[in-house]
Amino acid sequence: MAGPNRPIRILELRSVRGTGGGPEKTILLGALMSDPQFQITVCYMRDQRDRIFGVDQRAAHTGVDYVEVTEKHSFDPGVWPQLRRLIREREIDVIHSHDYKTNLLALLLARAAGVKALSTVHGWTGHSLRERWGYYPADKRLLARFPRAVAVSSEIRQELIRCGAEPDRVTTVLNGIDHRKFRRDPARVAGARAALGAEPDNIVIGAVGRLEPQKRFDLLLEAFAVISRRFPRARLFIVGDGSSRRALDEQIKSLQLGDRCRLVGHVDDVVPAYHAFDLLVQSSDYEGTPNAVLEAMAFEVPIVATAAGGTAEIVRDGIDGRVVPIGQVDLLIRDVTRALEDPTSATAMAQQARRRVEGELSFETRVRRIESIYSEMVHRA
Protein backbone atom coordinates (compact mmCIF):
# COMPACT_ATOMS: atom_id res chain seq x y z
CA MET A 1 0.00 0.00 0.00
CA ALA A 2 1.19 3.54 -0.81
CA GLY A 3 3.00 5.34 1.97
CA PRO A 4 5.00 8.53 2.48
CA ASN A 5 8.07 7.10 0.73
CA ARG A 6 6.30 5.13 -1.99
CA PRO A 7 4.50 6.45 -5.06
CA ILE A 8 0.82 5.75 -5.58
CA ARG A 9 0.66 3.14 -8.31
CA ILE A 10 -2.08 3.40 -10.92
CA LEU A 11 -3.15 0.91 -13.57
CA GLU A 12 -4.86 2.69 -16.47
CA LEU A 13 -7.00 -0.05 -18.02
CA ARG A 14 -8.63 0.30 -21.43
CA SER A 15 -10.08 -1.92 -24.17
CA VAL A 16 -10.36 -0.55 -27.70
CA ARG A 17 -10.15 -1.74 -31.26
CA GLY A 18 -8.25 -0.12 -34.11
CA THR A 19 -6.53 3.20 -33.60
CA GLY A 20 -8.82 4.35 -30.81
CA GLY A 21 -9.96 7.93 -30.30
CA GLY A 22 -9.95 10.85 -27.89
CA PRO A 23 -9.62 8.78 -24.68
CA GLU A 24 -6.28 7.43 -25.95
CA LYS A 25 -4.90 10.96 -26.14
CA THR A 26 -6.12 11.62 -22.61
CA ILE A 27 -4.73 8.40 -21.14
CA LEU A 28 -1.30 8.54 -22.77
CA LEU A 29 -0.71 12.23 -22.19
CA GLY A 30 -1.96 11.94 -18.61
CA ALA A 31 0.59 9.22 -17.90
CA LEU A 32 3.33 11.28 -19.50
CA MET A 33 2.51 14.41 -17.46
CA SER A 34 1.95 12.69 -14.12
CA ASP A 35 3.71 13.88 -11.00
CA PRO A 36 6.56 11.60 -9.79
CA GLN A 37 4.54 10.71 -6.69
CA PHE A 38 2.22 8.77 -9.04
CA GLN A 39 3.55 5.75 -10.93
CA ILE A 40 1.34 5.08 -13.94
CA THR A 41 1.13 1.83 -15.90
CA VAL A 42 -0.98 2.06 -19.05
CA CYS A 43 -2.51 -1.32 -19.92
CA TYR A 44 -4.50 -1.97 -23.09
CA MET A 45 -6.43 -5.15 -23.80
CA ARG A 46 -5.61 -6.21 -27.33
CA ASP A 47 -7.73 -8.62 -29.32
CA GLN A 48 -5.49 -10.92 -31.36
CA ARG A 49 -7.92 -10.62 -34.28
CA ASP A 50 -7.49 -6.84 -34.49
CA ARG A 51 -5.12 -6.21 -37.41
CA ILE A 52 -5.17 -2.41 -37.28
CA PHE A 53 -4.58 -1.88 -33.57
CA GLY A 54 -2.41 1.21 -33.26
CA VAL A 55 -2.28 2.28 -29.63
CA ASP A 56 1.02 0.48 -29.05
CA GLN A 57 2.72 2.64 -31.67
CA ARG A 58 1.28 5.80 -30.19
CA ALA A 59 2.43 4.75 -26.73
CA ALA A 60 5.93 3.97 -27.99
CA HIS A 61 6.30 7.54 -29.20
CA THR A 62 5.45 8.92 -25.75
CA GLY A 63 7.72 6.65 -23.72
CA VAL A 64 5.09 5.89 -21.06
CA ASP A 65 5.08 2.60 -19.15
CA TYR A 66 2.86 0.63 -21.52
CA VAL A 67 1.83 -3.04 -21.38
CA GLU A 68 -0.74 -5.17 -23.20
CA VAL A 69 -3.00 -8.00 -22.17
CA THR A 70 -3.85 -10.16 -25.15
CA GLU A 71 -7.18 -11.87 -25.64
CA LYS A 72 -8.28 -14.45 -28.19
CA HIS A 73 -11.77 -12.99 -28.37
CA SER A 74 -13.94 -10.41 -26.62
CA PHE A 75 -14.83 -12.64 -23.67
CA ASP A 76 -11.56 -14.50 -23.20
CA PRO A 77 -11.25 -15.67 -19.55
CA GLY A 78 -7.49 -15.82 -20.09
CA VAL A 79 -7.25 -12.08 -19.44
CA TRP A 80 -8.08 -12.58 -15.77
CA PRO A 81 -4.82 -14.28 -14.67
CA GLN A 82 -2.83 -11.84 -16.81
CA LEU A 83 -4.42 -8.88 -15.06
CA ARG A 84 -4.13 -10.43 -11.58
CA ARG A 85 -0.43 -11.02 -12.17
CA LEU A 86 0.09 -7.47 -13.43
CA ILE A 87 -1.63 -5.98 -10.38
CA ARG A 88 0.44 -8.14 -8.05
CA GLU A 89 3.77 -7.52 -9.76
CA ARG A 90 3.27 -3.76 -10.10
CA GLU A 91 1.76 -3.47 -6.59
CA ILE A 92 -1.13 -1.47 -7.98
CA ASP A 93 -3.15 0.76 -5.64
CA VAL A 94 -5.85 2.04 -8.02
CA ILE A 95 -7.30 0.46 -11.16
CA HIS A 96 -8.53 3.24 -13.42
CA SER A 97 -10.89 1.96 -16.12
CA HIS A 98 -12.22 3.77 -19.19
CA ASP A 99 -14.98 1.75 -20.93
CA TYR A 100 -17.79 -0.68 -20.20
CA LYS A 101 -15.60 -3.78 -20.54
CA THR A 102 -12.78 -2.59 -18.31
CA ASN A 103 -15.28 -1.09 -15.86
CA LEU A 104 -16.55 -4.59 -15.10
CA LEU A 105 -13.04 -5.98 -14.88
CA ALA A 106 -11.85 -3.12 -12.66
CA LEU A 107 -14.63 -3.61 -10.14
CA LEU A 108 -14.08 -7.38 -9.99
CA LEU A 109 -10.30 -7.05 -9.82
CA ALA A 110 -10.51 -4.41 -7.10
CA ARG A 111 -12.58 -6.72 -4.94
CA ALA A 112 -10.36 -9.73 -5.64
CA ALA A 113 -7.05 -7.93 -5.10
CA GLY A 114 -8.08 -5.52 -2.35
CA VAL A 115 -7.33 -2.36 -4.33
CA LYS A 116 -9.36 0.71 -5.33
CA ALA A 117 -11.41 1.13 -8.52
CA LEU A 118 -12.00 4.37 -10.39
CA SER A 119 -13.65 4.92 -13.76
CA THR A 120 -13.43 7.85 -16.11
CA VAL A 121 -16.70 7.90 -18.03
CA HIS A 122 -16.05 9.24 -21.53
CA GLY A 123 -19.62 8.65 -22.64
CA TRP A 124 -21.58 6.02 -24.53
CA THR A 125 -20.95 6.78 -28.18
CA GLY A 126 -21.42 3.41 -29.86
CA HIS A 127 -24.40 2.95 -32.12
CA SER A 128 -24.93 -0.80 -32.40
CA LEU A 129 -28.10 -2.29 -30.93
CA ARG A 130 -26.00 -4.49 -28.65
CA GLU A 131 -24.30 -1.40 -27.18
CA ARG A 132 -27.38 0.80 -26.99
CA TRP A 133 -29.73 -1.74 -25.47
CA GLY A 134 -27.33 -4.14 -23.76
CA TYR A 135 -23.86 -3.02 -22.78
CA TYR A 136 -24.55 0.64 -22.07
CA PRO A 137 -27.54 0.24 -19.70
CA ALA A 138 -25.60 -2.47 -17.84
CA ASP A 139 -22.53 -0.23 -17.69
CA LYS A 140 -24.50 2.64 -16.15
CA ARG A 141 -25.86 0.34 -13.44
CA LEU A 142 -22.36 -1.00 -12.83
CA LEU A 143 -20.87 2.48 -12.54
CA ALA A 144 -23.37 3.27 -9.79
CA ARG A 145 -21.42 0.75 -7.66
CA PHE A 146 -18.02 2.38 -8.19
CA PRO A 147 -16.49 4.07 -5.15
CA ARG A 148 -15.49 6.99 -7.40
CA ALA A 149 -16.17 7.99 -10.98
CA VAL A 150 -15.00 10.87 -13.14
CA ALA A 151 -17.46 12.24 -15.71
CA VAL A 152 -15.99 14.22 -18.61
CA SER A 153 -19.10 16.43 -18.78
CA SER A 154 -21.88 17.55 -16.47
CA GLU A 155 -24.35 15.80 -18.78
CA ILE A 156 -22.62 12.46 -18.18
CA ARG A 157 -22.50 13.11 -14.44
CA GLN A 158 -26.25 13.72 -14.33
CA GLU A 159 -26.87 10.51 -16.29
CA LEU A 160 -24.80 8.51 -13.79
CA ILE A 161 -26.73 10.01 -10.88
CA ARG A 162 -30.01 9.27 -12.65
CA CYS A 163 -28.91 5.64 -12.90
CA GLY A 164 -28.21 5.35 -9.18
CA ALA A 165 -24.71 6.72 -8.54
CA GLU A 166 -24.25 8.73 -5.33
CA PRO A 167 -23.68 12.40 -6.28
CA ASP A 168 -20.68 12.78 -3.97
CA ARG A 169 -18.96 9.88 -5.70
CA VAL A 170 -19.11 11.41 -9.21
CA THR A 171 -16.81 14.30 -10.09
CA THR A 172 -16.96 16.25 -13.33
CA VAL A 173 -13.49 16.81 -14.79
CA LEU A 174 -13.55 18.29 -18.27
CA ASN A 175 -10.93 17.13 -20.73
CA GLY A 176 -8.01 19.45 -21.20
CA ILE A 177 -5.27 19.99 -23.74
CA ASP A 178 -1.51 20.44 -23.66
CA HIS A 179 -1.43 24.05 -24.81
CA ARG A 180 2.37 24.07 -24.91
CA LYS A 181 2.43 21.33 -27.51
CA PHE A 182 -0.61 22.52 -29.46
CA ARG A 183 0.21 26.07 -30.52
CA ARG A 184 -0.35 27.80 -33.84
CA ASP A 185 2.74 28.51 -35.95
CA PRO A 186 1.88 31.00 -38.74
CA ALA A 187 4.87 29.79 -40.77
CA ARG A 188 3.18 26.39 -41.16
CA VAL A 189 -0.16 27.61 -42.51
CA ALA A 190 0.64 27.87 -46.23
CA GLY A 191 2.32 24.47 -46.36
CA ALA A 192 -0.46 22.81 -44.39
CA ARG A 193 -3.12 24.20 -46.73
CA ALA A 194 -1.19 23.07 -49.80
CA ALA A 195 -0.67 19.57 -48.35
CA LEU A 196 -4.40 19.28 -47.74
CA GLY A 197 -5.11 20.27 -51.33
CA ALA A 198 -6.52 23.74 -50.69
CA GLU A 199 -5.82 26.70 -52.96
CA PRO A 200 -4.46 29.92 -51.40
CA ASP A 201 -7.79 31.73 -51.83
CA ASN A 202 -9.98 28.88 -50.51
CA ILE A 203 -11.96 29.20 -47.29
CA VAL A 204 -11.01 25.98 -45.52
CA ILE A 205 -13.75 24.55 -43.30
CA GLY A 206 -12.62 21.53 -41.33
CA ALA A 207 -14.04 18.78 -39.17
CA VAL A 208 -12.17 16.13 -37.19
CA GLY A 209 -13.59 12.90 -35.81
CA ARG A 210 -14.44 9.27 -36.37
CA LEU A 211 -16.82 8.74 -39.26
CA GLU A 212 -19.59 7.31 -37.12
CA PRO A 213 -23.32 8.11 -37.01
CA GLN A 214 -23.25 10.15 -33.78
CA LYS A 215 -20.82 12.64 -35.34
CA ARG A 216 -23.57 13.64 -37.83
CA PHE A 217 -21.23 14.43 -40.71
CA ASP A 218 -24.29 13.87 -42.88
CA LEU A 219 -25.75 17.01 -41.26
CA LEU A 220 -22.52 18.89 -41.91
CA LEU A 221 -22.57 17.90 -45.59
CA GLU A 222 -26.16 19.07 -45.87
CA ALA A 223 -25.23 22.41 -44.33
CA PHE A 224 -22.12 22.76 -46.47
CA ALA A 225 -24.11 22.21 -49.65
CA VAL A 226 -26.01 25.41 -48.81
CA ILE A 227 -22.99 27.33 -47.50
CA SER A 228 -20.84 26.55 -50.53
CA ARG A 229 -23.41 28.18 -52.84
CA ARG A 230 -23.00 31.43 -50.93
CA PHE A 231 -19.23 31.05 -50.58
CA PRO A 232 -17.98 29.45 -53.83
CA ARG A 233 -14.37 29.38 -52.60
CA ALA A 234 -15.30 27.38 -49.49
CA ARG A 235 -13.90 23.87 -49.20
CA LEU A 236 -14.77 21.21 -46.62
CA PHE A 237 -12.20 18.71 -45.33
CA ILE A 238 -13.29 15.98 -42.92
CA VAL A 239 -10.39 14.27 -41.12
CA GLY A 240 -11.04 10.79 -39.75
CA ASP A 241 -12.26 7.36 -40.74
CA GLY A 242 -14.98 4.96 -39.69
CA SER A 243 -18.04 2.93 -40.59
CA SER A 244 -19.92 5.81 -42.22
CA ARG A 245 -17.34 6.55 -44.88
CA ARG A 246 -19.15 4.84 -47.75
CA ALA A 247 -22.46 6.51 -46.90
CA LEU A 248 -20.77 9.92 -46.70
CA ASP A 249 -19.05 9.35 -50.05
CA GLU A 250 -22.45 8.63 -51.59
CA GLN A 251 -23.94 11.74 -49.98
CA ILE A 252 -21.13 13.90 -51.37
CA LYS A 253 -21.97 12.59 -54.84
CA SER A 254 -25.71 13.05 -54.41
CA LEU A 255 -25.23 16.65 -53.24
CA GLN A 256 -22.93 17.24 -56.21
CA LEU A 257 -20.21 18.67 -54.02
CA GLY A 258 -17.47 17.32 -56.26
CA ASP A 259 -14.01 18.59 -55.36
CA ARG A 260 -15.45 21.09 -52.88
CA CYS A 261 -15.53 18.40 -50.19
CA ARG A 262 -12.95 15.76 -49.31
CA LEU A 263 -12.90 12.91 -46.81
CA VAL A 264 -9.25 13.00 -45.77
CA GLY A 265 -9.24 9.72 -43.84
CA HIS A 266 -7.29 8.88 -40.69
CA VAL A 267 -4.12 10.85 -40.01
CA ASP A 268 -1.56 10.13 -37.30
CA ASP A 269 -0.80 13.81 -36.82
CA VAL A 270 -3.68 16.29 -36.80
CA VAL A 271 -1.51 19.36 -36.24
CA PRO A 272 -1.14 20.24 -39.94
CA ALA A 273 -4.90 20.04 -40.45
CA TYR A 274 -5.59 22.63 -37.77
CA HIS A 275 -3.01 24.94 -39.34
CA ALA A 276 -4.92 24.65 -42.61
CA PHE A 277 -8.40 25.31 -41.19
CA ASP A 278 -10.08 28.71 -41.28
CA LEU A 279 -13.01 27.31 -39.30
CA LEU A 280 -13.74 24.10 -37.40
CA VAL A 281 -17.31 22.79 -37.41
CA GLN A 282 -18.56 20.10 -35.04
CA SER A 283 -21.95 18.68 -35.98
CA SER A 284 -22.25 15.86 -33.42
CA ASP A 285 -25.37 14.57 -31.72
CA TYR A 286 -23.31 13.11 -28.88
CA GLU A 287 -19.89 13.83 -27.34
CA GLY A 288 -18.12 13.50 -24.02
CA THR A 289 -15.79 16.47 -23.97
CA PRO A 290 -14.65 16.71 -27.61
CA ASN A 291 -10.89 16.71 -28.13
CA ALA A 292 -11.29 18.14 -31.63
CA VAL A 293 -12.88 21.28 -30.19
CA LEU A 294 -10.16 21.61 -27.54
CA GLU A 295 -7.50 21.23 -30.23
CA ALA A 296 -9.13 23.89 -32.37
CA MET A 297 -9.22 26.20 -29.36
CA ALA A 298 -5.50 25.65 -28.77
CA PHE A 299 -4.70 26.36 -32.44
CA GLU A 300 -6.86 29.51 -32.46
CA VAL A 301 -9.20 28.12 -35.10
CA PRO A 302 -12.67 29.73 -34.96
CA ILE A 303 -15.34 27.23 -33.91
CA VAL A 304 -18.98 26.52 -34.67
CA ALA A 305 -20.15 23.48 -32.70
CA THR A 306 -23.29 21.72 -31.59
CA ALA A 307 -24.04 21.68 -27.86
CA ALA A 308 -23.22 17.97 -27.63
CA GLY A 309 -21.98 16.59 -24.31
CA GLY A 310 -19.50 18.93 -22.66
CA THR A 311 -19.07 21.18 -25.70
CA ALA A 312 -21.06 24.07 -24.24
CA GLU A 313 -19.02 23.81 -21.05
CA ILE A 314 -15.72 24.35 -22.84
CA VAL A 315 -16.94 26.74 -25.56
CA ARG A 316 -18.94 29.62 -24.16
CA ASP A 317 -21.34 30.74 -26.87
CA GLY A 318 -20.40 34.14 -28.22
CA ILE A 319 -17.19 34.26 -26.17
CA ASP A 320 -14.97 31.37 -27.28
CA GLY A 321 -16.95 30.39 -30.37
CA ARG A 322 -20.47 29.63 -31.55
CA VAL A 323 -22.59 26.86 -30.03
CA VAL A 324 -25.82 25.73 -31.71
CA PRO A 325 -28.51 23.22 -30.69
CA ILE A 326 -28.05 19.61 -31.73
CA GLY A 327 -29.54 18.53 -35.05
CA GLN A 328 -30.53 22.01 -36.26
CA VAL A 329 -29.07 22.28 -39.74
CA ASP A 330 -30.55 25.73 -40.32
CA LEU A 331 -28.82 27.10 -37.21
CA LEU A 332 -25.58 25.41 -38.19
CA ILE A 333 -25.80 27.14 -41.58
CA ARG A 334 -26.61 30.45 -39.86
CA ASP A 335 -23.62 30.44 -37.51
CA VAL A 336 -21.11 29.13 -40.06
CA THR A 337 -22.28 31.92 -42.36
CA ARG A 338 -21.83 34.47 -39.57
CA ALA A 339 -18.30 33.26 -38.90
CA LEU A 340 -17.36 33.49 -42.57
CA GLU A 341 -18.98 36.91 -43.02
CA ASP A 342 -17.35 38.38 -39.90
CA PRO A 343 -13.84 36.91 -39.66
CA THR A 344 -12.71 39.68 -37.30
CA SER A 345 -15.22 38.63 -34.64
CA ALA A 346 -14.50 34.95 -35.26
CA THR A 347 -10.76 35.55 -34.81
CA ALA A 348 -11.32 37.49 -31.58
CA MET A 349 -13.31 34.56 -30.14
CA ALA A 350 -10.61 32.14 -31.25
CA GLN A 351 -7.99 34.18 -29.40
CA GLN A 352 -10.16 34.14 -26.28
CA ALA A 353 -10.51 30.37 -26.65
CA ARG A 354 -6.72 30.08 -26.70
CA ARG A 355 -6.51 31.98 -23.41
CA ARG A 356 -9.10 29.63 -21.93
CA VAL A 357 -7.10 26.49 -22.76
CA GLU A 358 -3.99 28.06 -21.28
CA GLY A 359 -5.78 28.26 -17.93
CA GLU A 360 -8.77 26.32 -16.68
CA LEU A 361 -8.82 23.92 -19.65
CA SER A 362 -5.12 23.14 -19.70
CA PHE A 363 -4.23 19.46 -19.57
CA GLU A 364 -2.00 20.08 -16.59
CA THR A 365 -5.00 21.37 -14.64
CA ARG A 366 -6.91 18.21 -15.54
CA VAL A 367 -4.05 15.89 -14.52
CA ARG A 368 -3.69 17.57 -11.13
CA ARG A 369 -7.44 17.16 -10.50
CA ILE A 370 -7.31 13.44 -11.33
CA GLU A 371 -4.24 13.00 -9.13
CA SER A 372 -6.05 14.63 -6.22
CA ILE A 373 -8.77 11.98 -6.60
CA TYR A 374 -6.14 9.21 -6.59
CA SER A 375 -4.65 10.60 -3.38
CA GLU A 376 -8.03 10.94 -1.71
CA MET A 377 -8.97 7.36 -2.59
CA VAL A 378 -5.70 5.83 -1.39
CA HIS A 379 -5.24 7.84 1.80
CA ARG A 380 -8.87 7.87 2.90
CA ALA A 381 -9.21 6.05 6.21
Residue 77 shares a structural domain with residue 114: yes
pLDDT value at residue 1: 58
Residue 205 shares a structural domain with residue 325: yes
Residue 142 shares a structural domain with residue 259: no
Residue 352 shares a structural domain with residue 375: no
Residue 78 shares a structural domain with residue 212: no
3-class SS string, the chain: CCCCCCCEEEEEEEECCCCCCHHHHHHHHHHHCCCCCEEEEEEEEEECCCCCCCHHHHHHHHCCCEEEEEECCCCCCCHHHHHHHHHHHHCCCEEEECCHHHHHHHHHHHHHHCCEEEEEECCCCCCCHHHHHHHHHHHHHHHCCCCEEEECCHHHHHHHHHCCCCHHHEEECCCCECCCCCCCCHHHHHHHHHHHCCCCCCEEEEEECCCCHHHCHHHHHHHHHHHHHHCCCEEEEEEECCCCHHHHHHHHHHCCCHHHEEEEECCCCCHHHHHHCCEEEECCCCCCCCHHHHHHHHCCCCEEEECCCCHHHHCCECCCEEEECCCCHHHHHHHHHHHHHCHHHHHHHHHHHHHHHHCCCEHHHHHHHHHHHHHHHHHCC
Residue 320 shares a structural domain with residue 333: yes
Residue 13 shares a structural domain with residue 131: yes
Please count the structural domains in the chain.
2
Q: Is residue 83 part of a domain?
A: yes
Residue 346 shares a structural domain with residue 366: no
Q: Is residue 319 part of a domain?
A: yes
> pLDDT by residue for the chain (381 residues), tens digit each?
565 678 999 999 999 988 777 789 899 999 999 999 999 999 999 999 998 898 998 899 888 999 999 999 988 999 999 999 999 999 999 999 999 999 999 999 999 999 999 999 998 866 666 666 678 899 999 999 999 999 999 999 999 999 999 999 999 999 999 999 899 999 999 999 999 999 999 999 999 999 999 999 999 999 999 999 999 999 999 999 999 999 999 999 999 999 999 999 999 899 999 999 999 999 999 998 899 999 999 999 999 999 998 999 999 999 999 999 999 999 999 999 999 999 999 999 999 999 999 999 999 999 999 999 999 999 975
| Residue 280's CATH number | 3.40.50.2000
Q: Residue 163 sits in which domain range? A: 8-176+362-379
Q: Is residue 195 part of a domain?
A: yes
Q: Is residue 199 part of a domain?
A: yes
Residue 191 shares a structural domain with residue 168: no
Residue 86 shares a structural domain with residue 115: yes
Q: Is residue 1 part of a domain?
A: no
Q: Is residue 2 part of a domain?
A: no
Q: Is residue 3 part of a domain?
A: no
Q: Is residue 72 part of a domain?
A: yes
Residue 325 shares a structural domain with residue 204: yes
Residue 71 shares a structural domain with residue 206: no
